[in-house]
């Protein structure tokens, strides 16, 4: 059984410091670590305040997903996704959402810190393609909760069926084939679902390994959402706090 150190809510932990409001935490965060510098327009800051606070609304933050602004920059949000069904069942995936300093005029970028075999994730850098859903980016229409729901949906079969070659960042996962009439129609997911399922399951299992869960080096060094191993009695306490009645087994 996997247990995380963040458990206040079954759907979302906004990472609030006790006694602070959402807007206060964001407004007081430093942005000196952001690669684009520390100059953030008032409009961008207000938009981030509003969209972060809106994640408390019903259905705005997907179940199984936790997200919080980084302690280093209000333009970087740290997140983790627990996948409960499908090819990637039981995956525990850390990722970051980085906003440009003129957001929402330009799209944020997403990077997975946990290695995952997925058509939209670059296996070298962890960069994640938002192109299937957000091309073009519409600043007056698209918001962060749309991105979060899209990310979760891309680990489900119906969305996996809809990717196109120009959108993917992992060619091995996509494995494009060309028919005689030059119509591009298939990838490894379609051609050999058994192989795809095996590789997805393997990456899901690796995401649960201690080296993946508890690693705080490299790109995960500054990630705000960290896991710590729990003893059986500590797990029981967490489950009681969540009103989950189950028996812990090794």
Inform me whether the pLDDT recorded for 126 exceeds 80: yes
Which residue in the block uniquely carries the two structure tokens 């119906």? 158
User: pTM for the full model?
Assistant: 0.78
Check residue 4 and give its pLDDT. 37
Are 100 and 106 in contact by the 8 Å Cβ rule? The answer is yes
CA–CA gap between residue 3 and residue 7 (Å, rounded): 9
Q: Smallest Cα–Cα separation from 20: which of 53, 61, 60? A: 53
Inform me whether the pLDDT recorded for 10 exceeds 60: no
Report which secondary-structure segment, H or E, holds 81.
strand 76-82
Question: pLDDT category, 46, cuts 50, 70, 90?
Answer: very high
Of residues 187 and 86, more confidence is placed in 86
Of residues 37 and 67, more confidence is placed in 67
**What value does the mean pLDDT of the chain take?**
79
Are 15 and 68 in contact by the 8 Å Cβ rule? The answer is yes
Of residues 20 and 236, more confidence is placed in 236
What is the average pLDDT across 139-153? 97
What is the average pLDDT across 133-150? 96
Cβ partners under 8 Å of residue 32, min gap 6: 38, 72, 73
Q: Smallest Cα–Cα separation from 213: which of 91, 110, 104? A: 91
């Amino acid at each position: 059984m996997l247990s995380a150190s963040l458990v206040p809510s079954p759907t979302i932990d906004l990472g609030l410091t006790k006694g602070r409001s959402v807007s206060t935490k964001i407004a007081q965060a430093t942005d000196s670590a952001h690669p684009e510098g520390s100059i953030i327009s008032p409009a961008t800051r207000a938009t981030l305040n509003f969209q972060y606070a809106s994640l408390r609304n019903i259905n705005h933050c997907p179940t199984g997903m936790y997200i919080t602004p980084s302690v280093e920059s209000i333009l970087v949000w740290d997140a983790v996704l627990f996948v409960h069904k499908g090819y990637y069942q039981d995956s525990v995936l850390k990722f970051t959402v980085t906003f440009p300093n003129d957001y929402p005029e330009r799209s944020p970028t997403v990077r997975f810190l946990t290695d995952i075999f997925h058509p939209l994730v670059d296996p070298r850098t962890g960069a994640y393609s938002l192109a299937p859903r957000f091309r073009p980016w519409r600043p007056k229409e698209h918001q962060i909760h749309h991105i979060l729901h899209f990310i979760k949906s891309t680990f489900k079969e119906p969305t996996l069926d809809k990717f196109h070659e120009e959108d993917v960042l992992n060619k091995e996962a996509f494995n494009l084939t060309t028919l005689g009439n030059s119509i591009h129609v298939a990838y490894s997911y379609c051609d050999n679902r058994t192989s795809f399922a095996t590789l997805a399951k393997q990456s899901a299992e690796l995401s649960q390994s201690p080296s993946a869960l508890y690693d705080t080096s490299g790109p995960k060094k500054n990630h705000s959402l960290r896991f710590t191993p729990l003893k059986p009695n500590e797990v029981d306490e967490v489950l009681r706090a969540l009103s989950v009645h189950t028996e812990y087994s090794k």
